[in-house]
Amino acid sequence: MPEPTGVIHDIGYQRYTGPRLGRRAVFGALYLHGLRTAFGLGRSAKAKIFPWLVLGIVTLVAAAATAVRSQIGEVVMTYAQFADNMSWLVIFFVAVVAPELVSRDLRSGVLPLYFSRPLPRSDYPLAKLLALATALWLLLGGPQLLMFLGAAFTGGEGMGGVWDELLDLLPGLLYAGLWAVVFASVGLLVASLTGKRAFAAGGIVAVFLMTTPIVGVLSIMPSRAVNELAFLASPSTLVGGVGGWALGDLLGPQAPVPIGGFGPVYAVAAVLLVAGCVALLLLRYRKVAAR
Amino acid sequence: MSTVSWITLRGLFGRRRFLLLLPLPLLLVLLAVLSRSLGVDADDWGPPVLVGLGLAVVLPVVALIVGTGVLGAEIDDGTVVHILTKPLPRWQIVLPKLAVAAGVSAVTVAVPLFVAGRLADSVRLGLSLAAASAVGALAYSALFLALSLLTRRPVLLGLVYVLIWEGLLSSFVSGTRVLSIQQYVIALADRLAPTELLHGDVSVPVAAVMTALISVGFTVLAVDRLRSFSVAGETS
């Protein structure tokens, strides 16, 4: 038997010996990537059209409101009313962004790649949810900040005026956060059900829009309790109800929706809605098809 | 029935996806029945249900999902090539697809609107709502079908039209109502059965002419765009 003559050459393959980033780094990367995706950053110009269209419109509205206020001195809309008035644009923004965040991954079948990392099942949807909620909050909060700057520095009442304005702004930002959390959780759940972005966008809009007329009908029913509970039926009025109850006068002179004494019910309903959507979202990602 | 319309129908109903179309019309009928059985005055529940839900949400959303789906789904899959390479004139591809889209959305929307209109006022209102919404379904379908050939993101552009143009702007700027299919449908329905429930802002001749113009114009545009259509991948 001849001696083996083959040689194994060392061609320089090396093991990775550096630090291994764990779960937090993966989560952070997913979150950051999701946030950038939401506004189309780092992607083609086509992907930027719709997010920046919405952002442009809300900024324009805020700028117009600020300009009117500084010229005429009349408050066109408070910070909370701004969020309420922009509800259609918020819905549209969710319909644009949520499918980008989750439906693309489903469609291109890359989820097994994500889950082959040290990434617990729950982190993927939670990171996406957090990214969407942050994007929505920025969408509503940014223009509010613009309105604040405009109002604070044209008021001419010195630091006291700025402080009063700041006390108006902070509840407004909290209220925007409430909008963001509720709309992000519902929207992302709907989007995670289908890999087709077109269907996801249509589904999100259908879910949000079909609930508004239910409120309209329930609020004219011949029962006062039903009328005051009617605003539970739609996410936007639900948020208005919770905001009116929890932040009350801080939001502005008039309550957005007449909910009577049912404020706690609204708060519980909002928490249940968000918790339910997150639970269903986690359930959705317990098992994913490779394709 | 041509093969193209047959394929389109199967594409629409072959998957579970078409179940998505059911909740909206069901909700419309449910709300109408509920309000009627609880004895609420029709003047109170008529406008939010018939216009707010029926004509402003169900009709455009159903027409959007179906209208962009008939051709857009095939473009997304890339299977549109199989139809394009057949020796068919382009209009024989666009027209059957438009017919299927308009037919499906018309049936999905007109039936619940008829029931709701009947419960709100009379059979006449129900019939006029059904007829007007069928006409509207044709106009919307032509618009959205053309959109799916003009852009890679037809659903989002359609949503811009439905949400921002018809929804948001027409409540602030009344001028945009002259260019809104929703207002044409309301005007036509109001003309066919004059009631207190519907208020058209557009005159009836304008509505009729504009609806016809939109339907024909966008169909011609779609045929023209399909003539020089290039198949590309999904937008990044």
Q: What is the DSSP string of A198-255?
A: HHHHHHHHHHHHHHHHHHHHHTTSS-HHHHHHGGGGSHHHHHHHHHHHHTGGGG-SS-
How does the average pLDDT of chain A come out, rounded?
A: 85
Give me the pLDDT at residue A253, please.
Answer: 57
Higher pLDDT, A205 or B194: A205
Q: Find chain A residues with C-beta within 8 A of B154's C-beta.
A: 198
Task: Give yes or no for residue A99 having a pLDDT over 70.
Answer: yes
Are the beta carbons of B68 and A221 separated by less than 8 Å? no
Over residues A162-184, mean pLDDT: 87
Average pLDDT over residues B177-197: 84
Q: Check A46 against B52: CB less than 8 A apart.
A: no
Q: Looking at residue B236, what is its pLDDT?
A: 47
Measured from the Cβ of residue A284, the count of other Cβ atoms closer than 10 Å reads 15
Per residue in A204-228, pLDDT (tens digit) is 988 888 888 788 778 777 777 777 7
Q: Which residue of chain A is at minimal alpha-carbon distance from B148?
A: A198
Is B235 in CB contact (< 8 Å) with chain A? yes
> Distances in Å between the alpha carbon of B111 and those of A179, A243, B121?
35, 39, 16
| Nearest CB to B155 within list A202, A212, A220 | A202
Compute the count of residue pairs across chains A and B with CB atoms less than 8 Å apart: 105
What burial class does residue A208 get, using C-beta atoms within 10 Å of its C-beta: 0-12 exposed, 13-18 middle, 19+ buried? buried
The mean pLDDT of B168-195, rounded to a whole number, is 81
Distances (CA, A) of B195 to A39, B117, B182: 46, 11, 18
Q: Which candidate, B145, B129, B151, places its Cα nearest to that of B216?
A: B145
Mean pLDDT of B97-104: 92
- Say whether pLDDT at A278 is over 50: yes
Chain A CB contacts of B48 below 8 Å: 213, 216-217, 220
Looking at residue A86, its amino acid is M
pLDDT confidence tier of residue B235, bands split at 50, 70 and 90: low
Cα B67-B72-B75 angle, rounded to 5 deg: 160
pLDDT(A233) > 90 = no
Pick the closest to residue B179 from B201, B153, B157 (CA basis): B201
CB contact under 8 A, B65 and A222: no
The per-residue pLDDT for range A47-75, each reduced to its tens digit, is 888 899 999 999 998 888 888 888 887 77
B68 touches chain A (CB under 8 A): yes
Contact A217 B35 (CB under 8 A): yes
Q: Please report the pLDDT score of residue B89 as a whole number.
A: 87
Whether residue B64 lies within 8 A of chain A, CB to CB, comes out as yes
Are B236 and A199 within 8 A, CB to CB? no
Do residue B44 and residue A220 have CB atoms under 8 angstroms apart? yes
Contacts of B147 in chain A (CB under 8 A): none
pLDDT at B212: 93
pLDDT in tens, B80-92: 888 888 888 888 8
- Chain A residues touching residue B108 (CB < 8 angstroms): none
Could you tell me if A79 and A168 are in contact, meaning their C-beta atoms sit under 8 angstroms apart?
yes
- Best mutation target among A97, A103, A107, A210 (most B Cβ atoms within 10 Å) is A210
Least confident of A55-64, A156-165, A254-263: A254-263
Which among A44, A201, A209 has CB closest to B57?
A: A209
Amino acid at A24: R
Q: Tell me if ipTM is over 0.90.
A: no
Q: DSSP class of residue B175? A: G
Residue-wise pLDDT for B9-61, tens only, equals 888 887 776 777 788 888 888 888 888 887 777 777 778 888 888 888 889 98
Higher pLDDT, A247 or A45: A45
pLDDT at position A95 is 92
Residue A279's Cβ-side half-sphere holds a number of Cα atoms within 13 Å equal to 6
Give residue for tokens 């545009």: B221
